[in-house]
């Protein structure tokens, strides 16, 4: 029996070529929506509320038909700022646990195969998706490459994008709530400083310059999440080595959370609400399947390697590297541990995904030949 392709989703087109004033107004309006949502949850003290609230505010605006927009240049600056903040959480305890990371990353590769396979099976046998569309929608946190391969292979690009987006949206909003409900969020790291004002200013200048430079280099070399990963690495080395004790002011970190939440929320811009409702249920089911399998591996790894369960769960969560790392930081977990594991997962999926596509196409091609014979 021939399986039907994954159902499509319609996107309302934006204006063909908006002017600069129009783009600025859209950006200002988007930040206003993000700020209202962020203030509602952040001021209420919800873990990661500034980020989650911004996502909800902009997503609601997008689904109501508003044309939400965040300039790429602003996004790049925010990634650098967030990378600096993430790296500042590096402590001697972080360095001490690094000896266990290779084993947990090895387990991560096995977990990602299990997660992808289980979600593929769910989409294929429960919802009747074709094999390639199910593979691309199941690939955890590899949206850019999955979309590129989907276009080349004729898979259902719109459905894949929506299922992946629903997964990221729910993870970004629901994980902080779940972690808070179970009381597994960490404590805020102690803030250093207290030295002479001039010394703090000089250290902050060095921190920003080094982190921005490292982020730019990582971005130029096309490292996944390069801006945030490079900035985080430089900041982590400076803080972990004790060369710098300065931290970015808290209001700057909060503003970066709000803009990051706005960027995630814009993913729903132009989505058809009826199609979103239909595919949203598919995405929720896929997320439940993948999260269940990933959590089982996380529990085993945390127990076997004596790691904090919350860190491992966040590291194994099937989301984008930037979003998961920032949520870990907002929850006072170990963002470096989470970021390194998501980078490893992205690298692994980038290598395996094209090979899996080749195997599936070869298998399906052989099956068609056998049917023809």
Q: What is the pLDDT of residues 272-318, one digit of tens each?
A: 777 777 888 898 999 999 999 999 999 999 999 999 898 999 999 88
d(C-alpha 274, C-alpha 281), whole Å: 11
Virtual torsion, Cα 302, 303, 309, 311, nearest 10 deg = -20
Per-domain residue ranges for the chain? 73-372
Q: What is the pLDDT of residues 325-368, one digit of tens each?
A: 888 888 888 888 998 898 888 888 888 888 888 888 887 776 55
**Comparing 195 with 182, which gets the higher pLDDT?**
182
d(C-alpha 33, C-alpha 56), whole Å: 9
d(C-alpha 58, C-alpha 48), whole Å: 16
**Comparing 188 with 72, which gets the higher pLDDT?**
72
In 3D, which of 134, 135, 141, 130 has the Cα closest to residue 165? Answer: 141
pTM for the model stands at: 0.77
Give the mean model confidence (pLDDT) for residues 173-193.
Answer: 65
């Amino acid at each position: 029996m021939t399986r039907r392709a994954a159902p499509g989703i319609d996107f309302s087109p934006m204006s063909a070529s908006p002017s600069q004033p129009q783009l600025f107004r859209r950006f200002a309006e988007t930040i206003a929506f993000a700020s209202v949502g962020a203030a509602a949850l952040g001021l209420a003290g919800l873990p990661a509320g500034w980020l989650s609230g911004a996502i909800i505010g902009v997503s609601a605006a997008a689904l109501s038909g508003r044309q939400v927009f965040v300039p790429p240049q602003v996004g790049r600056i925010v990634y650098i700022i967030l990378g600096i903040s993430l790296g500042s959480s590096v402590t001697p305890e972080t360095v001490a646990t690094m000896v266990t990371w290779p084993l947990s990353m090895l387990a991560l590769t096995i977990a990602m195969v299990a997660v992808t396979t289980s979600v593929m099976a769910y989409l294929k046998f429960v919802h009747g998706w074709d094999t390639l569309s199910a593979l691309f929608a199941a690939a955890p946190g590899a949206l850019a490459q999955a979309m590129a391969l989907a276009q080349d292979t004729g898979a259902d690009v719109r459905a894949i994008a929506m299922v992946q987006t629903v997964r990221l949206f729910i993870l970004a909003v629901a994980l902080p709530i779940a972690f808070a409900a179970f009381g597994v969020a960490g404590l805020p790291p102690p803030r250093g400083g207290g030295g002479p004002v001039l010394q703090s200013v000089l250290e902050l200048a060095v921190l920003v310059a080094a982190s921005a430079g490292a982020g730019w280099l990582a971005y130029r070399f096309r490292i996944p999440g390069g801006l945030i990963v490079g900035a985080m690495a430089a900041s982590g080395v400076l803080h972990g080595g004790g060369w710098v004790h300065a931290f970015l002011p808290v209001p700057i970190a909060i503003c970066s959370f709000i803009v990051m939440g706005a960027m995630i929320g814009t993913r729903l811009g132009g989505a058809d609400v009826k199609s979103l409702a239909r595919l949203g249920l598919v995405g929720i089911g896929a997320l439940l399947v993948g999260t269940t399998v990933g959590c089982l591996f996380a529990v085993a790894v945390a127990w076997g390697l004596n790691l904090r369960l919350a860190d491992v769960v966040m590291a194994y969560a099937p989301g984008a590297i930037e979003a998961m790392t920032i949520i870990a930081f907002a929850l006072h977990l170990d963002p470096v541990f989470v970021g390194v594991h998501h980078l490893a997962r992205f690298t692994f999926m980038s290598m395996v995904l094209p090979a899996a596509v080749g195997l599936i196409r070869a298998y399906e091609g052989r099956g068609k030949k056998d049917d023809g014979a």
